[in-house]
Chain A
């Protein structure tokens, strides 16, 4: 019985926190936020140097071959630091699907490039199925759309998806930027106009419906971890502020209203750390309730995070509402995590179906 992080995992979290605070301090985060849709190979290389890009890439492809639980540890830190990277898409979804298609030899090269920080991939969902080798349609809200080197596309509906890998330069493929509130993760729309699909672009995945479910679960768990990190950091930051700021001749942190708001935030948020661990563990071990746990986790964690960051803004008072106060960055970060890959009520409706099916 050992439900917790190993010493190695704790060390990883600790060193990553140190690295991010040194190399991606909030001032640099702000600079990168302004750059938004410009490619930035230096950033990706720096993160891959910390093992983040190859965290799920098999060791024989140059990655660390770690578990989703390790990715969750990283995601919490990335959320805390608001590091500009679409971790759930570039370093979780894309490499996971490619590694599922490893029998196909061309995958190896892509996975090596991901792990080395040389290529940035993006995961996209396209409702339309490829017909007679020509593709039309568009994928919405695609992470890193403007800067990705290639797209791992899941097409068709959930029950029988097909997966393709398409370089950004594929003829007929075009991207257009979207602007979202959280400038640390960029989005775009990807359009397909009569895109021809060479046979080798298709990923040979044995259980495509299962792989889609697993990749969505993994992405949701990692988005929840990101929201958790953002919320945790904003709460810590609000508590710190409350111990410096005086009003009416007292530290605001000595007012019961402020104390209880922080205590409630903490009491709501902290148990989700254990649920994050469990959901990732259940995913890694492919336990029966893995999908149920991932679904419940994302819906609840993102709702709690929304409350926690809003409370943090309130503790900061007027300052919390300014652009200069970092709490706005976590506020928006958690807002992104909440809406992407399924909002709270949509996910709970899915969970009900699982519960009824007896998970």
Chain B
């Protein structure tokens, strides 16, 4: 009862692994697929191998996490075998990719076989990448179009909330031909060790994820749903089935789950069964609740 078709991909449920979470190795993606996810998104993959920022690269804060991984990845040149292993999990594998310009993006996308691409134009702590380009409408449109031209599979664009107006960036993606947008990536944040005065993260600042950011993500999804014709995929702070339902009501056709996987790798199964029980009790379908917050 939870199956959906998302930008042409058939998913047994609308719950996907978010980019950057256990997503660097085929084995870990496969494990998550086998733990009940409807689809899995890989770590964002770039042109060259990258070791990321120095540690500490992640720290728990009140109700969430700050991370500044710095996009560590083995480069697309070493990544097809990981995707192929991930495919053994028998769910769609979406390749998240990043670059500094549209040429980077299309080079990477043309070289990888995946069920869809998610363009990371939203990582808040990688200099020259991520949200440094995802705040610029023209660049986002340009990059989206370049990847659309390069591949035949669906292209999703992942947006940053660190902008004055996320709707305009969503529209740029839509104009560029995106099949869906994904919202949100992490929110710029920082924590300082009061014993020493040091910023805790090796990169000094990073991105906030986890339960703290859910209300912000819900608002972004709600606004994008009102503005765009293409589907919105929600992500940010989902930790139980209620959160997933809330996102779908806000207008997300599907959701991605990140931080909460750390403490519960079985979260996809848990959320599926929770959602099913809820829908059954209410005698609702997934379609009944999709975007319902806009209709009441």
Do A and B truly interact? no
Which B residues lie at the A interface, using CB under 8 A?
A: none
